Chains A and B, each alone.
Chain A
Amino acid sequence: MNIVVLMKQVPDTYAERKLQAGDNTLDRDASDAVINEIDEYAIEEGLLLKEAHGGEVTILTMGPDRATESIRKALSMGADKGVHVLDDALHGSCAITTAKVLAKALGTVEYDLVIAGSEATDSRLSIVPALVSEALGVAQLSGARKVTVDGSTVTIERTTDTGFDRVEGAVPAVVSVVEKINEPRYPSFKGIMAAKSKPVTTLSLSDLGLSPDEVGLVASTTTVESYEEAPPRAAGTIVKDEGNGGAAIAEYLASRKLI
């Protein structure tokens, strides 16, 4: 069972995030960069499936130079190799383009299963996994809180509005996972040492047979016209309960016509 995990490097959510003037894209240098949190669960799930079924786990990421650090971290958790799609022309790619590029890059590796996170903390789109399935023409099994593989059949459980669904697809398939699924491991010292010598392939656009005018800002299907920092939330009223806290809330709500 060969698995590719789609991992994105994102600005640390605990830091201040900014757009940059000029092209209105995310300023990726303004803050620390980390593995998108949910993608650590995707990596863990890949490792668990590999432990159960054999095969290799490949980390695939499209991102700037420094995304290599995140690939190394994933390798130190236990993934076998990395593929880094790196090209200046990719800057400003929309989700649809990103999915097309990832799908192309998937064409360069052997895989049975693609595992992604359910949402990136920077874009908050939750659509790239669905778009990668669309681009590849394979089953989309999204929002998994549980994954089981039996031969060439993948079954997931996903939470719905009213309960949960069990959904099945044949490999190759794209699965996206939520944080209920497992508890990501920390890299061990041995893992960190081993990661240093694991292979990471860098792919440029021409390696993928794509031209610069098919990607990036020029090809983006969406454009951010303008942005504006929202005024900071006005400081609220915080009171200590002296026996009438509940009544005070009711009073507040009534004064705002919320009840």
Chain B
Amino acid sequence: MAEVLVLVDSANGTLKKSALELLTAARSLGEPSAVVIGAPGTAAPLQEKLAEYGAAKVYIAESEEIEQYLVAPKAEVLAQIARQANPVAILVASTAENKEVAARTAFKIDSGFLADAVDISSEGKTTQSIFGGAVTVTSKVARGVPVISLRANSVAPEASAGAAEEVSVDVVLSDGAKSAKVLERVQEAKGSRPSLQDASVIVSGGRGVGSAENFSVVENVADAIGAAVGASRAATDAGWVPHQMQVGQTGVTVSPQLYIALGISGAIQHRAGMQTSKTIVAVNKDPEAPIFELADFGVVGDLFTVAPQLAEEVTKRKG
């Protein structure tokens, strides 16, 4: 059966939810082969889950060097595996880094890259939502293998047993792949909340939240629902929350089941990152705020009274 390469992301020995979504999507195209690229020891803890979600093979490309350089090594390894495996498609999750890896891979194997798919057909055609959701397009590659990045939350992960046969890949990086050296990876404090990329519910706060301390109002709603916390640029620039929480054009692009915007006006650059959320709820004291144009449900009011009540009510309903 035709092979589909799936680049799987993991952190601290756990597969990202996106990996399960990709493996599920891959099954409609052929037989999924997971590709694990990382430092030695990355693949072993993922094996069981990869089998559970239908990986027939697991290509293991491990080397100390891979994580020491930006993007290029992963593209080189993925292209190398693609040349050997001759897959019918290559799937990655739509993160900033993966899109660069996928694009460079497509370049190397003379194929096309279809970015930010929200759906993939069994022939490897994609559906994309562009211009902030105003237009839907269907695209395909004109030559080579479709290299596709899939938006998070586009497919519901479903388990389906696979053999997960291990195939180890020799990693020999060219000098060119070692041109952007990572000097330091600085870890910033991170709580136990779901990450923005994976979250199916996101609660974001903007300038209306007013201060770092007040962000607890946003976090309390997020914790009550089990959501990730996001922010507008106004909130990240003010230093109330770290940069990686920024949702929008230059932050993270998300499309969760539910997006709750608290004290966010809905500037075009913010909308660019959350507009395709399935359900949007907004709280803003200005009835003219553009965010209300997108909102499925909006409350014109003070977030400092509405949000705590919402958190309390959600907790109560959970009983």
Asked if A223 contacts B107 (CB within 8 A), the reply is no
With a CB–CB cut-off of 8 A, which chain B residues contact A220? Answer: 112, 142
Asked if B75 contacts A134 (CB within 8 A), the reply is yes
With a CB–CB cut-off of 8 A, which chain B residues contact A131? Answer: 103-104, 107
> Which residues does A use to contact B, with CB under 8 Å?
13-14, 16-19, 24, 37-38, 94-96, 99, 118-119, 121, 124-127, 130-131, 133-135, 137-143, 145, 155, 159-170, 173, 178-180, 220-230, 233-234, 236-241, 243-254, 256, 258-259
With a CB–CB cut-off of 8 A, which chain B residues contact A142? Answer: 70-71, 96, 100
With a CB–CB cut-off of 8 A, which chain B residues contact A143? Answer: 96
**Least Cβ–Cβ distance between A15 and chain B, in angstroms:** 10
**Least Cβ–Cβ distance between B134 and chain A, in angstroms:** 6
Q: With A130-B71, A179-B233 given, is the CB distance from A223 to B142 under 8 Å? A: yes
Asked if B250 contacts A38 (CB within 8 A), the reply is yes
State which of A164, A178, A227 has its C-beta within 8 Å of the C-beta of B250: A178
**Least Cβ–Cβ distance between B247 and chain A, in angstroms:** 13
A31–B11 CA distance with the chains assembled, in angstroms = 43
Majority DSSP secondary structure for residues of A touching B: mixed
Asked if B188 contacts A166 (CB within 8 A), the reply is no
The 7 closest A-B pairs by CB, nearest first: A246-B309, A241-B301, A221-B112, A250-B313, A139-B179, A246-B310, A163-B188
With a CB–CB cut-off of 8 A, which chain A residues contact B184? Answer: 165-166
Asked if A227 contacts B138 (CB within 8 A), the reply is yes
A221–B288 CA distance with the chains assembled, in angstroms = 43
Majority DSSP secondary structure for residues of B touching A: mixed
Asked if B136 contacts A140 (CB within 8 A), the reply is no
State which of B243, B298, B313 has its C-beta within 8 Å of the C-beta of A236: B298
Q: With A130-B71, A168-B183, A239-B300 given, is the CB distance from A180 to B100 under 8 Å? A: no
With a CB–CB cut-off of 8 A, which chain B residues contact A118? Answer: 250
Asked if B115 contacts A127 (CB within 8 A), the reply is yes
Asked if B59 is at the interface of the complex by the 8 Å CB criterion, the answer is no
Asked if B249 contacts A121 (CB within 8 A), the reply is yes
Asked if B113 is at the interface of the complex by the 8 Å CB criterion, the answer is yes
Asked if B29 is at the interface of the complex by the 8 Å CB criterion, the answer is no
Asked if A167 contacts B70 (CB within 8 A), the reply is yes
Closest to A141 in B: B180
Asked if A24 contacts B137 (CB within 8 A), the reply is yes
Closest to B294 in A: A233
A170–B175 CA distance with the chains assembled, in angstroms = 12
